[in-house]
A and B are shown apart, each in its own frame.
Chain A
Amino acid sequence: MAGCLGDDEEDDDITIGAIQPLSGPFSPWAEVHQAGLEFAVEEINEDGGVLGRDLVVESNDTGSDPTDADSFFREFVEQENAVAITGPVSSDVGIRTSDTAQELQTPMFLHMSGDDGVISDDRQFTFRIGLLPASNTMISQNQLIEARGYENVGAVVADYAWGRAIEAAIEEHVTADVQIEVAPVGADDFRGNLRNLDEDIELLLATGHPPGNFSIAAQAIDIGLQPDAVTGSGFPPGVIRSALGELSEEVFLHYHMSDYTSPEYVEVAEAFSEATGEPFHTHHSYGYVTGQVIATAIEEAGEASGPAIQETLQDIEVDTLYAEALSYANYGEPDGQVQIYSEFTSDPADYAPDEDWGLNEVFRSDPLPAAGN
């Protein structure tokens, strides 16, 4: 009887639970992440699956509500036997479900959720995929500042966890003189803050105010500030382009870990485009990489279980669509990852000919140490 049950389990699909904000303000993130994840799973299954079993993605719409995210997490694990969960974008969902991941001993792969506190000694089952924490991001932006010789830098941060983390990281890691303005999360008029900055700022950091970073960029130009660049937050490039239009080509820098110029990325992007008719951009790749990482971890572990995946990921490197192979330290913190900064252009990539925009890499950071080191 036990042998029969064991045989049935081996024939079962391996379930990945996707707790995505498919509705609400974070749905643009969820849509592209889900599409990338499903494409990765499809490819993996066509290649024979994992341990002879197919991967299956079950998803539910959290609306970015932490309570719903927690409920769906538990449902996927307890009823669908999910061995891994992915999807959180907002930090409050990330923090809540990090605790759930710890409790259920099921690894969770964040799409965004850059809050430093999502990974700790009490939250060992959470892994970052798409967004490095504030400290790493400011280390990389300091490298950009030093490389370009900027001496006069301004920043606008939001008065909430992420913004304050960016503020602290600026003070710790940025060597240039940075004037920091703090604005409420819900603000949409930043001209007062921007007028408090030096007229001659060379770089404007809007990374610390995700809800307002587009308004900050547009209003800075509107009142006559002329920074070389404005560093944005972790938005899908399609959203940036949609929000800023051609202004995105003037000053805005999109930062990401996906290396869209690599042959591997281009191959996946072309295949995705052919299969779906849609372009494959940086945040699609975060979903795709999530699928790669989970599959690789299961293969290396030799078993499809949450604890095995979590333990295996502490020791392996996974070749992905990023500039550097993905490995983890300090539980789920990426170690040695590179942040790439791209400007928008009017030349679409060959694999996205129907778009009226493209990206051009302007800076690549040095490999960044895992946060907490």
Chain B
Amino acid sequence: MDAIVSSQILQLDISTYLEVLVDGIAFGIFLALLGVGITLVFGLGEVLNLAIGMFAIVGLIVAQYVNGVFGLPIIATFVVGILAAGVLGVVVDRSLLSLVYRSDGEERILLGIFVTLGLAILLEGVLTNVFPSRYTLDLPYFVEQFSPFRPFGLQISLASVFVIGIGSAVLALIFAFLRGTFLGKVTRTVFQDETGARLIGVDPRRIRALVFVLSALVAGVAGIAYGTSATIEVERGFRFTIFALIVSIVGGVRSIEGTVLAGVMLGIVATFATFFIGAYLASVILFMTAVIAILIRPAVGE
């Protein structure tokens, strides 16, 4: 096996590495988006949202459904899909999470796990029966017109370019919001010191609601972006949640910067591992990388 892998690595030229790297960065951005969704909510309210993957699926399916039924321009369907995930976030926050936030400490964490896990199972069951097929989205025309995309002779996946572009833009917006806006600074205040935030008149519950909806919107973006590169079925949602958890834990469950870095790193590692070794061992390598990263990372944002 080692000889085969070594031989394979040596025989490839730089262009193949670059092509795989682009795919890896795209997958990493997707992981980062999901991970940020987990980190935002856990960091602020100590709720581990195990339904984050299903929010991504909702975004994708609604976008695809609207595109098929109403024939709207693809960008419009993306917006509708993202908003659908956001609306679901509002509903969940106003209903299930209101129950969870009544408790605190370890009880809230456990309740949050059970509630969101139950929500994920419910959503998967309902959506599988209503949408049992496989779903994908077209790239917007202004992207697709560059197909086949061969800059400098490289075979670059346009879908990967799209995921990187839209994912990076969304992550940049999140950072800009948290650092550059008053509401963002208030959010960070609640993140860092909830008691102190209360003392200056901030209502943490409203901030948590805002952040939960934001995380749902981000998950919707992730689902739609990923749906332009693969054909997805509803059952994939739980796997998305697993990825999100890994990334969030590796990045530090309260560190958005760490989560983004972890996502991109793990995405690149997983993609190269899949290419050179195969998907099964790539999963093992992904988990090993996560464990090593947790062991050696500096304590950030905790």
Contacts and interface: CB of A to CB of B under 8 A. Distances in A.
A192 B149 contact: no
Interface stretch (B165-173, B208-216, B227-235): B227-235
Given A23-B132, A192-B274, 16 more contacts: A24-B129, A182-B278, A184-B280, A189-B229, A192-B275, A192-B279, A195-B20, A211-B233, A214-B134, A218-B136, A218-B231, A221-B147, A226-B148, A239-B134, A242-B134, A244-B231
Contacts of A184: 279-280
A283 to B, nearest CB: 13
Interface residues of B, number: 38
Contacts of B19: 195, 223
A46 interface: no
A222 interface: yes
Contacts of B145: none
25 contacts: A24-B129, A25-B235, A159-B280, A183-B279, A184-B280, A189-B229, A191-B157, A192-B20, A192-B274, A195-B19, A195-B275, A196-B275, A214-B134, A214-B231, A215-B231, A218-B230, A219-B157, A219-B229, A221-B148, A223-B19, A224-B148, A239-B133, A242-B68, A243-B136, A244-B136
Interface string A201-220: 00000000001101100110
Interface in A179-202: 182-184, 186-189, 191-192, 195-196, 199
Given A195-B19, A195-B20, A215-B231, A28 B159 contact: no
| Interface-centre pick from A26, A184, A214, A222 (highest chain B CB count, 10 A) | A222
B134 A189 contact: no
Interface of B: 16, 19-20, 23, 27, 68, 128-129, 132-136, 138, 147-150, 155-160, 229-233, 235-236, 239, 271, 274-275, 278-280
Contacts of A186: 239
A199 B16 CA distance: 12
Contacts of A372: none
A188 B128 CA distance: 17
A162 B25 CA distance: 33
Nearest to B234: A25
A199 B148 CA distance: 13
A188 B236 contact: yes
Give the 10 A-B residue pairs with the shortest CB-CB distance, closest first: A192-B275, A214-B231, A224-B148, A188-B230, A224-B155, A27-B132, A215-B231, A243-B134, A192-B274, A215-B230
B196 to A, nearest CB: 44
A277 interface: no
A28 B136 CA distance: 17
Nearest to B235: A25
A187 B16 contact: no
Contacts of A367: none
B231 A224 contact: no
Nearest to A191: B23
A52 interface: no
A292 to B, nearest CB: 27
A245 B68 CA distance: 9
Given A189-B274, A192-B274, A224 B20 contact: no
Contacts of B231: 188, 212, 214-215, 218, 243-244
A222 B233 contact: no
Nearest to A30: B132
Contact of B133 (A28, A191, A196, A215): A28
Contacts of B229: 189, 218-219, 222
B159 A222 contact: yes
Contacts of A211: 233
B133 A243 contact: yes
A188 B232 contact: yes
B157 A223 contact: yes
B149 A224 contact: yes
A242 B280 contact: no
A158 to B, nearest CB: 11
A192 B159 contact: no
